[in-house]
Amino acid sequence: MLYPLKFKPIFKDYIWGGRNLEKLNKELPQGNVAESWEISCHKDGMSIVQNGHLAGKSLEEIISIYAEKLLGTSIVEKFKDKFPLIIKFIDANKDLSVQVHPNDEYARIYENGQNGKNEMWYTIDCKPGARIVYGLKEDVTKERFLSSINENKIKDCLNYIEVLPGDFVYIPSGTIHAIGEGIVIAEIQQSSNLTYRVYDYDRVDKNGNKRELHVDKALEVIDFNTIKTDKQKDNKINIGGNSTMQCKIKSHCFNVDLYDIKEEIDEVSDKNRFFTYLVVEGKGKIKYGDETMDIDVGDSILIPAELGKYTIEGQGKMLKTYIL
């Protein structure tokens, strides 16, 4: 029978990373680490099971063996044998490039059938005054934006938003965005690694080369309509004792609920879909059948569709992700 799965983190050493993921219990390799891919079935980062009798097998392997028992009947019907998400932690020790992601339609036509990329960010920690780039200012047209790139004045076109720990931001494909310096986030996204950079602060890599920009493609996919992100209303639902759940992100790609666990809650899997949990604060246990799994901040757990009843106990916050 399947059981809650943990995976070995996949570390990425992009030039803007640091050492802050150690605060999430990550045993980092030497040097700066920018990302920890927690659950992924992408060619650029394949998750390997860390626990139980499936330890050492790739997520791709266990999907091929268990299919609907792992992913759920509705997910297999929609995505076949593809895991549709990437779940990761990001350490923006320095500013990320200003970038945009294509939607599914564009990516499948112009990027050899790949997925587009919608994503969301949850701010785990940040320095005072930390900001993200979210969209463009109201009066920015395609022509003005291109001129600003050519004149190295792109910052004049960008819409900046200050963030605080606990903030959620949804970034639809086509939205210009960037994570600012001094922010650690959890990111949940479609299974895609397509990024079109338009500005990278004239940085160079370890070989002294500037990173590639993708201005032409970016201009084809950017949404130049005004995009606003609003503070969300409190929609807490009691899920047992003093524990609460808030639905934070609803999209056609995925849904994300914030669980604030105070003691113990009972959950049950869904034969139509898998669940994932990302522990962003605190620690606890997951009990299923006669087994118990310890969970701590920085852990990511995949709940198979066939698991059945399980209990989460402890003190902490978790992001629960699922696809309807």
Closest CA to 101 of 155, 176, 35: 176
Q: Using alpha carbons only, what angle is made at residue 147 by residues 141 and 151, rounded to the nearest 5 degrees?
A: 145
Q: Is 119 annotated as belonging to a binding site? A: yes
Q: Where are the alpha helices (DSSP H) in 151-224?
A: 215-221
Contact in structure between 190 and 83 (CB atoms under 8 Å): no
Q: Where are the alpha helices (DSSP H) in 95-214?
A: 104-110, 142-150
Q: Is 177 annotated as belonging to a binding site? A: yes
**Helix (H) / strand (E) containing 295:** strand 291-296
Instruction: Tell me which of 108, 144, 197, 203 is the catalytic residue.
Output: 197
Burial of 1 (0-12, 13-18, 19+ CB in 10 A): exposed
Strand 264-268 with 168-171, pairing: unpaired
Distance separating alpha carbons of residues 241 and 22, to the nearest angstrom: 32
Q: Could you confirm whether 108 is annotated as catalytic?
A: no
Query: Residue 286 corresponds to which tokens in the numbers above?
Result: 């997951």
Provide the annotated binding site: 101, 119, 177
- Active site positions, annotated: 197
Annotated binding site for Zn(2+): 101, 119, 177
